[in-house]
Amino acid sequence: MSVIYILLSISIIVAIFFFIAFITAVKSGQYDDSYTPSVRMLFEDELVKEQPKPSIKTKQD
Amino acid sequence: MDQIKQTSCYHCGDECKTEISFDDKTFCCNGCKTVYEIFSENDLTCYYDLEAAPGSIPKEIEGKYDFLSQKNIIEKLTEFDDGNTQIATLYIPHIHCSSCIWILENLNKLNPNITSSQVNFGKKTIRVTYKSETCSLKDVVLLLSSIGYEPYISLDDFKTGNQNVNRSLIYKLGIAGFAFGNVMFLSFPEYFEVGEFWLEQYKHLFRWLMFAFSLPVVFYAGRDYFVSAYKGLRSNLLNIDVPIALGIAVLFLRSTVEILFDLGSGFFDSLTGLVFFLLLGKFFQQKTYTFLSFERDYKSYFPIAITKINSKGNETPIQVYDIEKGDRLLIRNEELIPVDGILINGKAKIDYSFVTGESESVSKQSGDKLFAGGKQTSGVIEMEAIKSVEQSYLTQLWSNDVFSKNKEDGFTTLTNTISKRFTYIVLSIAIISTTFWLFVDASKAMNVFTAVLIIACPCAIALSAPFTFGNLLRIFGKLKFYVKNASVIEQLAAINTIIFDKTGTITSNKSSSANYDGIALTPSEELLLKNTLRGSNHPLSRTLYDILEEHNIITLNHFEEHLGKGIEATHNNEHIKIGSASFVGAKETSVLNTTVHISTNNQYKGKYTFYNSYRKGLSKLFNKLKKHYDLVILSGDNEGEFENLKKLLPSKTKLIFNQRPDDKLEYIKYHQTEGAKVLMIGDGLNDAGALAQSNVGIAISENVNVFSPACDAILDASKFNQLYKFIKASKRAITIIKWSFVLSFIYNIIGLYFAVTGQLAPVVAAILMPLSSISIVVFTTIATNIVGRKLSKS
């Protein structure tokens, strides 16, 4: 049953990993604007259709 | 002679008065056509596919942004600058649809020196990164303006560095949620299988892990409750945070003692859950309208820079804060006068409506005094500053200490009123039951004492108000009534006096009505009148044009506009003069209302008298309100509308005219000392003091994106006649909260039964606490939605 120590530490490490991911996401401003990305996401496809010259595409994300 | 067709512009969607065709599309003006040309040349016509007619007419900006070439101003407006690359965030009020996002994020196709641009739709801002060697901030602004997205740059932008976004609540919520989930997992085995072999083996490890998880919850996520409770106690106030802080502290201490001496598993699950739910309530209540600002003062209305004429006669842009006494300033058409001064040159026609509430613009001669805040409406003028910005007549209003006071400080919320009694009752129950157990079974006394404090922790009570008000804030927001925070709704339910401003508040800015008296005009004269007005951009001409009936378009032989006087035109053999009495050749009669005189072929015909046009449903609204509230009209305007208003409004309404901004503030202050709870409804800078002094200040706005003074709530002008319903809904919210208090008391009584009898097991607390919180949330949400549905139906 001492395997429980390994299991526990793994589960806590995973939990903490996600927790850190959450903190960095908030810190980088991901939660500041929750609307625009949902619209922006839909543009890229239309852009490619409209623009046969992908070379101009310099938009950075 | 074509009949005017009702076609809408391909670019902006406005009705085309004169049609311009290009590329099989119709445009209302050359500006719109130019924007379309720019887009089609750059393969950006996708703009029009995403949304129909998403654009706006680009405005004339000649010379307006010259100040952006100044180094110190660029420094203030950019947030990053390493010599090669600059990043600036600009506020663009026109951002309103997905097309806007698309075109603004493709700016690099219009100017390759712009490396990237990112729109924040909620805040209506764009963050532009550009190469500063080949492209300046001015170029970016000019490009944006040329495609109809003119940024709004005001004195408010005049602050250095980034504003810090406060994200601490999200962090706290994240930590509490994270700990809550993990503690729940770890404490689950002990709920049921007490005494099992392996559980006995590992329970210490599990318990200490739970302890570790709860540490950041108590000391970081829950810190605000301790701070607030401490502050409350220090000012002799038993606010709701006192029993909460007590509950958290007791939960933590008892749990720690329990696991330390192996007495039990502790209440870490309840502890983390409690903090998590409380923070969730706070988060929900914190509805913010990112695109609105409730804190604006004159700074967001004033320009950041103005043109100064130096002694050699050269024009240089200077910062508004740098204006000194004696500086000579150039004010262009539609520009704002930033400081008090004396008119030197040019014909001034100043629109003070926003500052004083006077509805019509006033003409000034050279040598006359000009006050800061007025907007020049005809041509270019030169003036000499006699004061600096902060010392000007208007801006001095902001030195009144009413602007530094926090309205919420003097207001006891319903929750805090309840919590005072609640705390006393809980403490006495705890003491009584502890004394009882001391005699019966002393070993259980401490157990009972802590259990009472734990179970009585008023989580459900603390959640009632945030969820009710938070939900109502959202419902109000959907109905275009934007409220700053929850406490405003509570104060709104308690008001007994309503004070209205006149100009722009109960009158509408868009249209006014006009009456003609004089010799009746012949059809051909009417035709000429309408066509002459068409050519003029003067606000009165536009208003009169819209009022008159539709006529055919004719080409005028001669048309001339005399600034500040009027217009004249000829068609065939007919000559018409429209304008002021002296211009037309009529006797000047001194009336308080605005008039436009007309003469044809040098013969005086008559005049149009303009009346304020009141908002729809005004008398209906007043008649509804008069039963419950004292009503007052407090106007900065003259008494010209007195008779009109008297007819329109219930007889009890007090009408007070010629009020200066500080008169309004004093009026409210005086009535508040007599016990009035005042709701002030205004719109301009002249109401700013009154809005701040009142218990609730609502700003009426025709367009919520443009400036409105600091206030507690912004009401869209189209919803003005719904005002009474909003107040009624706020009152219903109070009732809902009272009922949810009743509900949470029932839970508390059940919990207290377990606590007092000394049988509070962790599992009972772990069930009862979330259950009470969740049922309160469900109850308030359903109840407020019912209120909201009633509100939106009507």
* From B75-79, B461-465, B735-739, the region with the lowest mean pLDDT: B75-79
- Greater pLDDT, A24 or B757: A24
Yes or no, beta carbons of B120 and A42 under 8 Å apart: no
Domain range for A10 is 3-55
Instruction: Express each pLDDT in B380-429 by its tens digit.
Output: 888 888 887 777 777 777 776 667 666 666 667 788 888 888 888 888 98
Residue A48 belongs to a domain: yes
Residue B115 to residue A26, Cβ atoms within 8 A: no
CA distance B390 to B398: 9
Contact B120 A47 (CB under 8 A): no
Please write the tens of the pLDDT for every residue from B268-296: 888 999 899 889 888 887 766 666 667 66
Share of chain B above pLDDT 70, in %: 90
Nearest-5° Cα angle at B469, B471 to B272: 85
Please check whether residue A60 lies inside any domain of the structure. no
Contact B313, B348 (CB under 8 A): no
User: What is the reported pLDDT for A21?
Assistant: 93
Distance to chain A for B790, nearest Cα, Å: 28
Query: What is the identity of the amino acid at B740?
Result: S
B314 DSSP assignment: -
CB contact under 8 A, B115 and A60: yes
Which chain A residues are closer than 8 Å to B50 by Cβ? 46
B209: part of which helix (H) or strand (E)?
helix B197-216
Q: How many CA atoms lie within 13 A of B32 on its CB side?
A: 26
How far, CA to CA in Å, does B19 sit from each of B11, B52, B87, B642? Answer: 12, 18, 40, 43
Of B50, B102, B170, the CB nearest to A26: B170
What is the distance between the alpha carbons of residues B660 and B690, in angstroms, rounded to a whole number? 10
Residue type at B480 in one-letter notation: K
Find the helix or strand (DSSP H, E) in which B250 lies: helix B241-260
**What percent of chain A is modeled with pLDDT above 90?**
13
Tokens representing residue B590 in the block: 């001194």
Say which of B121, B170, B171 has its CB closest to residue A33: B121
> pLDDT confidence of B194, banded at 50, 70, 90?
low
Averaged confidence pLDDT in chain B: 81
pLDDT band at B220 (very low <50, low <70, confident <90, very high): very high
R_g of chain B computed on alpha carbons: 33
pLDDT of residue B511 exceeding 70 = no
**CA gap B483, B264 in Å, rounded:** 48
Q: How far is B284 from chain A (nearest CA, A)?
A: 15
Nearest residue in A to B205, CA atom: A5
Closest CA to B89 of A42, A33, A38, A59: A33
Residue B456's pLDDT band, with cuts at 50, 70 and 90, is: confident
Q: How far, in Å, CA of B43 to CA of B128, rounded? A: 21
pLDDT at B184 over 80: yes
pLDDT at res. B592: 63
Site from B109, B131, B188, B213 to mutate, A interface, most A CB atoms within 10 angstroms? B109
pLDDT band at A55 (very low <50, low <70, confident <90, very high): very low
Least confident range of B525-534, B558-567, B667-676, B708-717: B558-567
Residues in chain A: 61
Contact B167 A26 (CB under 8 A): yes
Please give the angle made by the CA atoms of B467, B473 and B474, to the nearest 5 degrees.
Answer: 95
- Average pLDDT over every residue of B34-52: 79
Round to whole Å and give the CA distance between B559 and B541: 14
Read off the DSSP letter of residue B8: B
pLDDT at B275: 92
* Cβ neighbour number for residue B80 with a 10 Å cutoff: 12
DSSP string, B711-769: -SEEEEGGGGGGHHHHHHHHHHHHHHHHHHHHHHHHHHHHHHHHHHTT---HHHHHHHH
Position B338 scores a pLDDT of: 82
Q: Compute the distance between CA of residue A36 and CA of residue A14 in angstroms, rounded to an integer.
A: 31
Cα gap B369→B340, rounded to integer Å: 7
Nearest to B125 by CA among A31, A43, A32: A32
Residues of chain B with CATH 3.30.70.100: 66-153
State the average pLDDT over residues B482-492: 86
Lowest mean pLDDT among A5-14, B16-25, B133-142, B167-176: B16-25
Q: What is the pLDDT of residue B360?
A: 67
What ipTM does this complex have?
Answer: 0.74
What local confidence, expressed as pLDDT, does residue A52 receive?
44
Cβ contact, residue pair A27, B174, below 8 Å? no
Nearest to B171 among A26, A40, A56 (CB): A26
Give the pLDDT confidence of B515-540 residue by residue, as tens digits: 787 888 888 888 888 888 877 766 67
pLDDT top residue among B618 and B302: B618
Percent of chain B past pLDDT 90, that is, above it, reads: 8
Pairing of strands B630-634, B497-500: parallel
Q: Of B489, B494, B449, B492, whose CA–CA distance to B469 is shortest? A: B489
What confidence score (pLDDT) does residue B529 get?
Answer: 83
Q: For residues B193 and B187, give the distance between their C-alpha atoms in angstroms, rounded to a whole number.
A: 11
State how many domains chain A has: 1
- The pLDDT confidence band at residue A32, using thresholds 50, 70 and 90, is confident
Weakest-pLDDT range from B71-75, B104-108, B413-417: B71-75
**Strand intervals (E) in B423-525:** 481-483, 497-500, 513-518
Taking the CA of residue A35 and the nearest CA in chain B, the distance in Å comes to 7
> Residue A22 and residue B178: Cβ atoms within 8 Å?
yes
In chain A, what percentage of residues exceed pLDDT 70?
Answer: 69
Does residue A51 have a pLDDT over 50? no
Which CATH fold topology does B302-335+340-386 show?
A: 2.70.150
pLDDT score at B712: 85
Mean pLDDT of B211-230: 91
Inter-chain residue contact B122 with A36, CB threshold 8 Å: yes
Measured between alpha carbons, how far apart are the two ends of chain B, in Å? Answer: 46
- Contacts B120 to A, Cβ<8 Å: 32-33, 36
Q: Report CA B366 to chain centroid distance, whole Å.
A: 38
Where helices occur in B565-617 by DSSP H, the ranges are 581-584
pLDDT score, position B180: 92
Q: Where in chain B is the domain with CATH 3.40.1110.10?
A: 513-611
Give the bridge partners for B336, in sequence order.
B375
Of B548, B582, B547, residue with least CA distance to B564: B582
Q: What is the residue-averaged pLDDT of chain A?
A: 73
pLDDT at B354 over 70: no
CATH fold of the domain at B66-153: Alpha-Beta Plaits (3.30.70)
Residues of chain B neighbouring A27 (CB-CB closer than 8 A): 167
Label residue B572 left, alpha or beta by phi (over 0 means left) and psi (-120 to 50 means alpha): left
Q: Give the residue numbers in A contacting B (CB under 8 Å), as ranges.
A: 1, 4-5, 8, 12, 15, 19, 22-23, 26-27, 29, 31-36, 39-40, 42-43, 46-47, 50-51, 56, 58-60
| d(C-alpha B172, C-alpha B179), whole Å | 11
pLDDT band for A57, please (50, 70, 90 cuts).
very low
Closest to A40 (Cβ–Cβ): which among B105, B167, B182?
B105
> What is the predicted pLDDT for the residue at B609?
79
The SS3 call for residue B97 is coil
Residue B787 has pLDDT above 80, yes or no: yes
Considering only CB atoms, A40 lies closest to which of B101, B109, B209, namely: B101
Query: CB distance B101–A36 less than 8 Å?
Result: yes
pLDDT tens-digit series, residues B124-182: 888 888 888 888 888 888 888 888 888 888 777 666 445 566 788 889 999 999 999 98
Q: What's the pLDDT score for residue A54?
A: 44
* Per-residue burial over B420-446, b = 16 or more CB atoms within 10 Å of its CB, e = otherwise: bebbeebeebbeebbeebeeeeeebbe
Q: Which CATH superfamily is domain B513-611 in?
A: Calcium-transporting ATPase, cytoplasmic domain N (3.40.1110.10)
- For chain B, the residues whose C-beta falls within 8 A of a C-beta of chain A are 43, 46, 49-50, 98, 101-102, 105-106, 108-109, 115-116, 118-123, 165, 167, 170-171, 174-175, 178, 182, 198, 201-202, 205, 209
Least confident of B441-455, B559-573, B665-679, B772-786: B559-573
DSSP secondary-structure letter at B345?
Answer: E
Most A CBs within 10 Å: which of B40, B41, B49, B167, as the mutation test of the A interface?
Answer: B167
Q: What angle do CA B543, B546, B552 make, to 5 degrees?
A: 135
CA B89 from centroid of its chain's CA atoms: 20
d(CA B695, CA B675): 11
Nearest CA in chain A to B98: A39
| A51/B182 Cβ within 8 A | no
Instruction: Classify residue A8: in a domain, yes or no.
Output: yes
Among A15, A23, A27, select the one facing B182 at the smallest CB separation: A15
